[in-house]
Each structure stands twice: as structure tokens, then as C-alpha cells.
Amino acid sequence: MKRVALLVQYDGSNYSGWQKQKNAITVQEILDRTLFKITNHSVKTFAAGRTDAGVHASGQVVHFDSDCVIPGNSYSDILNSLLPSTIRILESVEVKDCWHSCYSALYRHYRYVINNSKFSNLFINNWSWHRYQKVLDEVLMSNASKRMEGEHDFFAFQKSRSNRKNSITKIKKIDIKRVEDLILVDIKATGFLYGMVRLIVGQLVLVGEKKISPEIFTHRWVNKKKNDVKESAPAKGLCFINAVYEENVFQKINNNDFFPVFLIKGFS
């Protein structure tokens, strides 16, 4: 048996998330089914992080074990010839048996994109939240977010149905910047709670629109006021950028190229 790692991109618009579900089409189901066609045996894939329905990934990391004779670096081309156009394998490599896409990751990086223009944009509608009612104050949003860096209990930013034992996780860094009409919210953390990023963004938008103060924002999550955190950003603006490991597993793609460049450069 050998272990193969995949660097995967997908447009999550028409999928019910990453993880297999009953009576729903998911990215994992499509990938596992395609790997079965290639290897002639059932393959179980593991991802660096789960994504919900409608959430995208520009650099999802997946691994699986197989005794198939196909070289690890050949899976990307073979899979891309069989997968739908909404799922692409950027690279495939053979890794050590002890390496795990989820447990070996040092941290994960998510990005949320807000289109703060007065006008919607056909080319980014499926990849951003068109929040146009007011001009957002990204500096106020950034200042409000900084206290979240470090290890904290983020119970207030966890949706129901979570199966985690606790809601403590470590946010390494939060960056919020404006590029013309786009506001990019980048969050890097060792782990993410169910619905965490979308709830954080939903509250930060209220700060940016000056509907709540940075102090109220902080009070809600520090004091676990989950019932006060009602606004959640829509799924389509969220993208799993990549997972970072102690050693760089993939060599063909630059980390800066994970996210669709036109979303940033097109507005600069």
C-alpha cells in the first residue's frame, strides 16, 4: 500500500460540501467514486478540512491509500480526465505512510470575499458576498478582529450540530484588507469550528456597517453570547485556501497562486 496526497480545487456551488452524505452530492463522493474506477477497489479519502455546502476550495489537501501500481504523480492527470470540470487536481504525490492530510497540518487558511460595490458582478457572484447596502469600514473591522488572535474559546462562533468536544482553537492570524470594492478576510488557524468563519464575518460586517461597536463584537465572543450571534455570512463567499505543513509536500504550484488571481488583480 502506498499513500498518495492530492492538491484539489473545487467550485462548491453545486455540492453539499466536502464530506459524504446520504441523498446528497458531495466532493468526497465524486472523488472516491472516480478513484474506484481507477484503482478497482474502494478508496477512502481524508481531507485537511471539511467545507460546507456551497463553500469552495482553492488548495484543499486530500490523501488516500492504495495498492494500485499507478505512480503517485500520475493520479492528477488521470483523475482530471475523469472528474467533472468543477473539481481539479493540481498535483498528486506519494507521501510517507505516517503523513496525514488533516493531522499533519500545522494550520489551515480560509478566505472570505465581500463585494462591497453598489453593483453585482457576474464574474464573481458565485465566489463572493455582495454586501452593498453601506460602505464597509474595513479598518474598524480589522481592529475589532485582532483580539481573536491566539488561543481562545470561540463557542459563540460555532453553529449547532457540532461534534467537537470543546470550542477552543488557536487563530494564528487575521488579515482584513480592501482591494478597491473587494474586502478580503483571511483567517489562519490550527482548527476551525463548524460555521466559525461565516459567523465571524457576519459579525464583522455589522461592525463595518457600524451597527454594532467593536466592543460589542468582542463582548459577544469573549462571554460566549452565542444567542446574540445570529448573522452568518453566506457560504459562497468562503474559500478553503490551503493547509500548511512542516514540509512542503507539493512542489509544482506556488502558495500565492492558490486563490483565483483575477478576483484581486481585476480590481486593482
**107 among the known binding-site residues?**
no
Ramachandran angles phi, psi of 28, nearest 5°: -60, -40
- The angle subtended at Cα 184 by Cα 183 and Cα 187, nearest 5°, is 145
- Residue 52: active-site member: yes
DSSP 146: G
C-alpha cell at 183: 474586502
The residue assigned the cell 449547532 is 160
Ramachandran angles phi, psi of 257, nearest 5°: -100, 5
Positive or negative, the Cα torsion across 86, 267, 55, 16? negative
Which one is catalytic: 52, 77, 137, 153? 52
d(CA 210, CA 119): 21
DSSP-assigned beta bridge partners for residue 6? 62, 92
| Coil, helix or strand at residue 237 | helix
DSSP-assigned beta bridge partners for residue 238? 112
Amino acid at 203: Q
H-helix segments, 4-151: 27-39, 75-80, 138-145
C-alpha cell at 63: 490523501
Instruction: Report residue 61 CA to chain centroid gap.
Output: 11
d(CA 178, CA 121): 17
Residue ranges for the known binding site are 110
Catalytic residues: 52
Residue ranges for the known binding site for substrate are 110
